[in-house]
Chains A and B, each alone.
Chain A
Amino acid sequence: MNARRVLAVARKSLSQFRHDRRTLAFIVVMPLFMVGVFGYTFGGSVSHIRTLVANEDAGARAAEVLGNMEGDTLDLVVATDLAAAREQVRLGRAWAVLHFPANFTATVMTRNATIGLVLDGTAPVITAAILGKLRAAIEATLATAGSAPLTIERNYVYGSEETRSIDAFAPGVVGLAVLMVTTLLSVIVLVRERAGGLLERLFATPLRPSEFVLGHALALSLLAVLQSAVVLAAAVLLFQVQIAGNLALAFVFLLLFAAGNQGLGILMSSAAKNELQAIQFIPLILFPSLLLTGVFFPLEAIPPTVRPLSYAVPLTYAADALKGVMLRGWGLGELWLDAVVLVVYDVLTLAAAAAMVRRQA
């Protein structure tokens, strides 16, 4: 292994990107776009859910509950007629109808009150938001009346009441952006070098396959770090994403992940004859990474029969590590297993790439 040759290859790759401003822009803009889309779509909780209220309560308790439901989540609209309100839900003009019967105040303190809830249950997130808001309002109302049935005392070990979806997604999105850009660029760069006879020309010098692969991985991993820095900066500045732990450690994990992706990209490039074919790998990389890795859905939400697949996708470990660092402030003491798996991923893919790249030349 000759360090000078490794660095020569890395320098070559970085110079290529320096001259290719459009690709460089893609490397930065694409993940920014991803963060933007995820940030704005998943950033807040649901809001302005049109909810009709048929309040027939003779007392004041229902009004108190309704008062405790004020906020952005629900748009409470007074309905005079329950049947008409129900029709509004059927027509898709409202998500729910809240019905407080005439005896609500009278029965609420004796704990046998009923609230009628008519729901369009086609959007579980909205159903959950309405139920959540209602429960919280009832709890608050009973507490004010000195009649809370029980109190849940929350102690957050990590995160807080303030933790939003975007905070939880951000680490995974950074990992996903690095995956997409590094793997895809790697495939495309290799396809291009092979087609132009450049790989063969390089191997007509003393350059060894392992040196080529390492140099290539070094350059693209540096780009991945640059990209991650931009993405994280955007996440922090635009969406005030929380970072609880050591950012340097997050970058170490990103580097480990990016390096292995280069190896994977080189291996994949052997199956593509041109850039068009290389692009067809996008869904192959994207879908398992989106769905199986815990970036958007916790692994616990993935059926046990499919879950072994999750553990075969490297982003699962990268995302877990990044979440550990950014959300929980964990260090290597807690995240050593992710680190070990990613190092094994690097060694396996880069070694296989080195063995294959010469044959491809």
Chain B
Amino acid sequence: MSPPLAFRTRGLTKRFGSIEALRDLSIEVPRGVTFGLLGPNGAGKTTLLRLLLGLTRPTRGSASVLGKPLPPGAVLPRIGYMPQDLAIYADLTVEENLALFGRLVGMADDRIASRTAEVLALVELAGRRGELVSKFSGGMRRRTSLAAALLHDPDLLLLDEPTVGVDPELRATFWTYFGDLTAKGKTVVITTHYMEEAARCDLVALLHHGRLLARDAPAAVKAATATTNLEDAFLALVRRQGVEA
């Protein structure tokens, strides 16, 4: 029997007018890994996350998330999402934000209280839970948004550029935590354009103009392109695609 998948896509295509944001993407991601989605702006990383969350519908193709075909409705409470633009309420306090998202995924109030303490300790905002987010710096807002995504201990985390503006020390803490999560069988999907950060993922997918260039372990991607880092690997793959095209 094949191992359970975090998500799978088959020929997934998304067009916005004449722009093809995602082109014929077929990919499988097992559970219990950190999975990096790499590519420059406009590569289709965010579009893929939005498709998996049911926030937009595919033009063609199909996908399943945590074993359920799109739209993900029933499995949404098992997914944690941190969008690139953070999307937390600046005119609410940290704990009011967390309580809102906790209630929306069906958590009981006492569980919200206990998990709030845990995740705020992780993102180092424990002492500021009663403060309005509008008073926070960009990095602190990002940490609040991450805390909201982690609150309900989801099986699948979809994090869109989670470490932008986060200092290196805290970034290292996040990666350790992501490792802890995958050890417990959770899946962490991270979009990034920091290639060195992507090297810490168990698996990566390299996207360019909506197309999948490669999907493998970082070491395997580097080996296949005879490069020493993912940035060079990416460039080599883009050139190869250009030649093929």
Contact = CB atoms under 8 A, between A and B. Distances in A.
B236 interface: no
A5 B55 CA distance: 18
B132 A19 contact: yes
B53 interface: yes
Interface residues of B, number: 27
Nearest to A196: B87
A197 B85 contact: yes
B83 interface: yes
A200 B87 contact: yes
A205 B85 contact: no
A207 B132 CA distance: 24
B100 to A, nearest CB: 5
A90 B40 CA distance: 80
B104 interface: yes
At the interface, is chain A mostly helix, strand, loop or mixed?
A: helix
A206 interface: yes
Interface in B66-118: 73, 76-77, 79, 81, 83, 85-93, 96, 99-101, 103-106
A20 interface: yes
A206 B86 contact: no
A361 interface: yes
Contacts, number: 65
B103 A8 contact: yes
Chain A interface bracket (under 10, 10 to 19, 20 to 34, 35 or more): 20 to 34
A9 B50 CA distance: 22
Given A20-B91, A205-B104, A196 B85 contact: yes
A15 B92 contact: yes
A111 interface: no
B76 to A, nearest CB: 5
A75 B74 CA distance: 78
B77 A197 contact: no
B92 A206 contact: no
Nearest to B87: A201
A204 B91 contact: no
A204 to B, nearest CB: 4
A15 B96 contact: yes
7 contacts: A9-B100, A11-B100, A204-B55, A204-B83, A205-B77, A205-B104, A361-B55
Interface of B: 50, 53, 55, 73, 76-77, 79, 81, 83, 85-93, 96, 99-101, 103-106, 132
Interface of A: 4-5, 7-9, 11-12, 15-16, 19-20, 196-198, 200-207, 361
Given A4-B106, A8-B100, A200-B55, 7 more contacts: A11-B103, A12-B92, A19-B93, A197-B86, A200-B87, A203-B55, A205-B101
